[in-house]
Amino acid sequence: MATQTTTAGTRESRQGERRVVSNIVRGSIGNLIEWYDWYAYTAFSVYFAAAFFPSGDQTAQLLNTAAVFAVGFLMRPIGGWVLGRYADRRGRRAALTLSVTLMAAGSLIVALTPSYDAIGVVAPVLLVTARLLQGLSVGGEYSTSATYMSEVASPGRRGYYSSFQYVTLIAGQLTALGLQIILQQLLSGTQMESWGWRIAFVVGAAGAIVVLWLRRGMDESESFERVAAEAEAAVEKGAGPARGSLRMLLSYPRQCLIVVGLTMGGTLFFYTYTTYLQKFMVNTSGIAKPTAAWINFFALLVFVLLQPVMGLLSDRIGRRPMLIGFGVLGALVVVPSLTLLSHTSNPVYAFLLMVGPLAVSSLYTSISAVVKAELFPTSIRALGVGLPYALTVALFGGTAEYVALWFKDAGHESWYFYYVTACVLLSLLVYIRMRETSDGSPLESEDRD
């Protein structure tokens, strides 16, 4: 009898783990498409900048596209608020489905908008509109997917499973870069600038249809279903504010400030060495566009492979030591790596100068989602993760390219290097003072209930 009970328990445990993996995969694939659409903009902007803006020098056109990229980030806090609230009230699955629909709409607008020469100022206006939709989408996608993956993950392995959010986030960028490399082999430079770049956005919109079908089959997280019923009963009795409301979020000021502090340096560092570095190689180092794309592709491939390794490590040693490691190493590596990269056109050296800092960044990115999720209870988790995070990313990550190009245009490019270093050091102070989030987090206490 004991053997049968043990066997049944083992079978149930395996089934539960398979269910976790299935939900993580469904959520991850959707996340990949969302971030592919988001990063296709920056990957192909070196080709479509001239299509949407008046003729000018390359730096000026890239500065215009970077400004639109930053404008998209301004919508991320609104997306974090609107979709985070929706996720806390209606469910994680419903919010994730809505976010990918908005992203598909934005991609279609970019793909179908005529050039500036054809419709004048309407072209950049439509580009801005598309990025606003995509910013709204990705603002809600991050918070909801971070919440969902953390809630459905097995206790004790949340760092590992949650790391797949950045696996797919970076894989989305890799997919965009991979498609760029393929198109560069098949099309001439003139064809890429004329119409080839539009293919990327058509592919993104088509992929969203597949994601809509996949996300309809996802399980809702048990944490949400249980806490939602309890919260509704409490609200009906007048016992407290509705879940997912700003009033409830204001009950967690310390957690919100921690999210802002730990995100500031991490997001600026991440966007510097991912979205901006390809332009830096082309515009500053003088590396050819196709070569820069290959360098970025292989460096990001190493980066994506590091995520689950670091996530698993965080389950063993804790989140805080890894964040402190990122803060120390990140502050030390920025100035020398970017200074050296600005003076080399050697592809091998450029690869090493990119992949080294990305390895440092993985100490932060692999656990970014789970650390934030561990700060908040289920009733406010999606909004708590989403709104302060999106505000910080809009201010620092979203403006990274624009600030870097502005310094370059002003003739003081190296000042940007010190700006990134200063932000990482400020985040380091937060990492040193914060507690270990995996100990006694609301996620773990909810699982024991």
Which residue's structure tokens are 């696996």? 167
Residue, of 135 and 434, whose pLDDT is higher? 434
Indicate the burial class of 241 (C-beta count within 10 angstroms; 0-12, 13-18, 19 or more): middle
| Buried b or exposed e, range 57-96, using 16+ CB within 10 angstroms | eeeebbbbbbbbbbbbbbbbbbbbbbbbbbbbbbbbbbbb
Which residue would you say has higher pLDDT here, 370 or 238?
Answer: 370
- Please answer whether residues 146 and 369 qualify as being in contact, where contact means their C-beta atoms are separated by less than 8 angstroms: yes
Which residue has tokens 């950049």? 124
Q: What is the DSSP letter of 221?
A: P
Tokens of 291: 């070569």
Helices 2-52 and 164-186 pack at an angle, to 10 degrees, of 40
Residues 324 and 428 sit within 8 Å (Cβ to Cβ): yes
Alpha carbon separation from 432 to 324, 330, 357, 435 (Å, rounded): 6, 14, 21, 8
- Interatomic CA distance for residues 70 and 64, integer angstroms: 10
Q: So where are the chain's domains?
A: 20-448
- Find the length of the chain: 449
Query: Amino acid identity of 195?
Result: W
- State which H helix or E strand residue 421 sits in: helix 414-433
Place of tokens 């997001």: 267
User: Chain-wide mean pLDDT for the chain?
Assistant: 82
CB of 342 closer than 8 Å to CB of 395: no
Residue 445: pLDDT band (50, 70, 90) is low
Please give the Cα distance from 278 to 315 (Å, whole number).
33
Question: pLDDT class for 233, splitting at 50, 70, 90?
Answer: low
Residue 11, pLDDT above cutoff 70: no
Around Cβ 222, how many Cβ atoms within 10 Å? 13
Rounded to an integer, what distance in angstroms lies between the CA atom of residue 26 and that of residue 100? 13
How high is the pLDDT of residue 13?
Answer: 55
Residue partners of 37: CB distance under 8 A and separation at least 6: 103, 104, 106, 107, 134, 172, 201, 204, 205, 207, 208
Confidence of residue 115 (pLDDT cuts 50, 70, 90): confident
Q: What is the pLDDT of residue 81?
A: 84
What pLDDT score does 133 carry?
A: 86
Please give the average per-residue pLDDT across 51-65, as a whole number.
65
What pTM value is reported for the model?
0.79
Distance (Å) of CA 175 to CA 39, 282, 347 = 9, 20, 21
- CA-based nearest residue to 399, from 264, 268, 261: 268
Percentage with pLDDT > 70 across the chain? 85
Nearest CA-CA partner of 90 in 240, 248, 249, 228? 228
The one-letter code for the residue type at 78 is: I
Q: How far apart are CA 390 and CA 135, in angstroms?
A: 10
- Per-residue pLDDT tens for 175-198? 887 898 889 889 888 888 888 889
Third-level CATH fold of 20-448: Growth Hormone; Chain: A; (1.20.1250)
pLDDT band at 69 (very low <50, low <70, confident <90, very high): low
Distance in angstroms (rounded) separating the CA atoms of residues 70 and 75: 9
Q: Give the other-Cβ count within 10 Å of 190's Cβ.
A: 9
